[in-house]
Amino acid sequence: MKPRTKLQKRVVEQSNSLAPITQKQYDWAFKNCFEHTARRLKNGTLTCLDCGHSWKGGHALYDTICGCTCSSCGTELKLLDTRKQTFKQSEYFGIITTRGNFQVLRYFFLEKYCKAGNPAQLFCCEVVQYWIAPNGKSVVMALMRTMNTWYYNSWNWSFDLEVRNENQAHLITPIATYPHKKYIPEIKRNGFRGSFHRLTPQTLFRQILSDCKMETLFKSKQYDLLRHFAISHYKSIDKYWASIKICIRNNYQVKDATLWCDYIDLLIFFDKDIQNAKYVCPTNLKAEHDSWMLKKQTLLDRQKKEREREHIIENEKQYQKLKSKFLGLEFSEGELHIKVLENVNEFYEEGKTLRHCVYTNEYFLKEDTLIFTAQINGKRIETVEVSLDTLKVIQSRGVCNQNTEYHDQIINLVNKNAHLIRKRMSA
Q: What is the pLDDT of residues 69-90, one digit of tens each?
A: 888 888 888 888 888 999 999 9
pLDDT for residue 60 is more than 60: no
pLDDT-derived band at 154, boundaries 50, 70, 90: confident
pLDDT value for 63: 56
- The type of residue at 288 is E
pLDDT value for 346: 92
44 vs 225 pLDDT, higher one: 225
- Burial class, 347, CB count within 10 angstroms (exposed 0-12 / middle 13-18 / buried 19+): buried
Return the CA Rg of the chain: 26
pLDDT-derived band at 427, boundaries 50, 70, 90: low
pLDDT-derived band at 274, boundaries 50, 70, 90: very high
- Residues 173-188, mean pLDDT to the nearest whole number: 94
Q: What is the pLDDT of residues 199-226, one digit of tens each?
A: 999 999 999 999 999 999 999 999 999 9
Q: What is the pLDDT of residues 237-251, one digit of tens each?
A: 999 999 999 999 999
pLDDT value for 265: 95
The Cα diameter of the chain in Å comes to: 81
Strand partners of residue 107: 94, 128
CB atoms under 10 Å from CB of 86, counted, come to 10
Q: What is the pLDDT of residues 94-125, one digit of tens each?
A: 999 999 899 999 999 999 999 988 999 999 99
pLDDT value for 169: 82
pLDDT value for 232: 80
pLDDT value for 308: 65
45 vs 311 pLDDT, higher one: 45
258 vs 167 pLDDT, higher one: 258
Tell how far CA 210 is from the center of its chain. 21
- Residues 336-352, mean pLDDT to the nearest whole number: 92
Q: Tell me whether strands 86-99 and 176-177 are parallel, antiparallel or unpaired.
A: parallel
Q: What is the pLDDT of residues 400-410, one digit of tens each?
A: 999 999 999 99
* Percentage with pLDDT > 70 across the chain: 95
- Residues 1-17, mean pLDDT to the nearest whole number: 90
Q: Where in the chain is the domain with CATH 3.40.630.30?
A: 319-425
Q: What is the pTM of this model?
A: 0.67
Q: Mean of the per-residue pLDDT values for the chain?
A: 90
3.40.50.300, 3.40.50.1970, 1.10.3720.10, 3.40.630.30: which CATH number matches 319-425? 3.40.630.30
